[in-house]
Amino acid sequence: MVQIPKTPASSSPAPRSVPTSADVARLAGVSRATVSYVLNNTSTVRISEPTRRRVREAAEELGYVPHAAARTLRAGHSRLVLMPAPAFPVGPLYTRFIGELQGALGRLDYTVVQFGTVGLHGDDAARAWAELRPVAVLVAGHELGTRGVAVLRRSGARAIVTFGTEAVDGTHALLLDHTAVGRSAGRHLYDVGRRRIGVVVPEESGLESFSQPRLHGVRDALADTDATVTALPLAYEEESAARLAARWRGLGLDAVFAYNDEYAMLLMRALQDEGVSIPEDTAMIGADDLMLGRLLRPRLSTVHLEVPSGRDLAELVDRVVRAPGRAPEQHEILGAAVIHRDST
């Protein structure tokens, strides 16, 4: 790591103690109850305008900030919507989705928080989340067992929304059926006349839940045809791609679905370095519709994923929180559309 010289700067100000609503009440000359009424705009009770002003001014002057833990304790539940922080680099798609979700839920007065999950797994993770008594949890289905769901439910979570390839019992499930991605890719390659089709399967761990369904989707799409499907393990490194490219002609493939655009770029480079021409010798399609696909030559065909907007999910969460008795729903939310460019 980079050197860290130590440079003392200005000294910190005297850390006065944290003002509470009692302090505000004292300064405003009212009771704590009144402070609470005013600051929460409680409508069931009428407070005179001068009193309101005095309270607000006192709060302002003291720099009063309500104590979320106290409120949570009293209320029995927080306004926290918990989701795990992603453990891998996320693309613009996901970032935008999260941003929308947070914005929308924020407007509905929830607090969205991404929980650091490194080192915690299964039921331990569920317990750690439950300690915060979140009102809702959004989580990948495979991170949550039946026990985890029970723990969260019992700890007061009103909405548990899972996403992944299969529904988790007792939760609202958003099904991301990646076989659809593979099916689209497979069908497209078949339609452009290819019959010996390779499918890149990343060797990086953590990607299996995407890569396997994508592979199976291709198999699915080509099951009743004369086409063959070959799985091609590939690590996200130049050497791995070079090795695969070196034995490419021996494989006798005329098309490849490269898992996604990034793996496609890696493999395209290696193949071109080997003198394999795309799309003439081998057609190639990626997935995710990243900018970089448009910057490759030939321009990369890709499978564009359609996911719901963060706003839609926010609405679902709010609906479930407010009607917690509702039976869990399952939503198929992953759409796939081929974007045909020059590489196929």
In the region spanning residues 169 to 198, those forming contacts with a second copy, defined by CB under 8 A, are 169-170, 173
Q: Which one, 21 or 254, has the nearer CB to a second copy?
A: 21
Residue/partner pairs of 47-51 with CB below 8 Å, 24 or more apart: none
**In the structure encoding, which two tokens stand for residue 290, read together?**
């990243």
Burial class (CB in 10 A: 0-12, 13-18, 19+), 327: exposed
d(CA 295, CA 301): 11
Q: How far is the CB of 25 from DNA (least distance, A)?
A: 7
Burial class (CB in 10 A: 0-12, 13-18, 19+), 98: middle
Q: How far is the CB of 212 from a second copy (least distance, A)?
A: 22
Q: Would you give the binding string for a second copy spanning residues 237-266, x where CB under 8 A is met?
A: -x-----------------------x--xx
Number of Cβ within a 10 Å radius of residue 94: 13
d(CA 236, CA 254): 22
Which of a second copy, DNA, none interacts with 179 (beta carbon under 5 to 8 A by kind)? Answer: none
Q: Which stretches of 226-286 are DSSP H helices?
A: 238-246, 248-251, 261-273
| Beta pairing, strands 159-164 & 228-234 | unpaired
Binding flag, residue 305, DNA (CB under 7 A)? no
DSSP state of 253: -
User: Which residue in 5, 8, 13, 76 binds DNA (CB under 7 A)?
Assistant: 76
Q: Which residues contact 148 (CB under 8 A, 6 or more apart)?
A: 122, 123, 125, 126
Q: How far is the CB of 46 from a second copy (least distance, A)?
A: 27
Binding flag, residue 145, a second copy (CB under 8 A)? no
Q: How far is the CB of 28 from a second copy (least distance, A)?
A: 19
Binding flag, residue 78, DNA (CB under 7 A)? no
Binding residues for a second copy, how many (CB under 8 A)? 98
Binding flag, residue 41, a second copy (CB under 8 A)? no
- Rounded to the nearest 10 degrees, how much is the dihedral formed by the CA atoms of 206, 207, 210, 216? -110
Binding flag, residue 98, a second copy (CB under 8 A)? yes
User: Which residue in 8, 11, 41, 74 binds DNA (CB under 7 A)?
Assistant: 74
Binding flag, residue 51, DNA (CB under 7 A)? yes
Binding flag, residue 89, DNA (CB under 7 A)? no
Q: Which one, 39 or 93, has the nearer CB to DNA?
A: 39
CA-based diameter of the chain, in Å?
87
Residues 296-325 that bind a second copy (CB under 8 A): 297, 306-309, 312, 324-325
| Beta pairing, strands 301-306 & 172-175 | unpaired
User: Which residue in 56, 187, 243, 269 binds a second copy (CB under 8 A)?
Assistant: 269
Q: Which one, 222 or 267, has the nearer CB to a second copy?
A: 267
d(CA 155, CA 82): 13
**In the structure encoding, which two tokens stand for residue 291, read together?**
């900018």
Could you identify the residue written with the tokens 């002609």?
Answer: 249
Q: Which one, 275 or 324, has the nearer CB to a second copy?
A: 324
User: Which residue in 33, 292, 322, 340 binds a second copy (CB under 8 A)?
Assistant: 292
Q: Which residues contact 325 (CB under 8 A, 6 or more apart)?
A: none
Residues 15-44 that bind DNA (CB under 7 A): 18, 20-22, 29-37, 39-40, 42, 44
Residues that bind DNA (CB under 7 A): 18, 20-22, 29-37, 39-40, 42, 44-48, 51, 64, 66-67, 70-71, 73-76
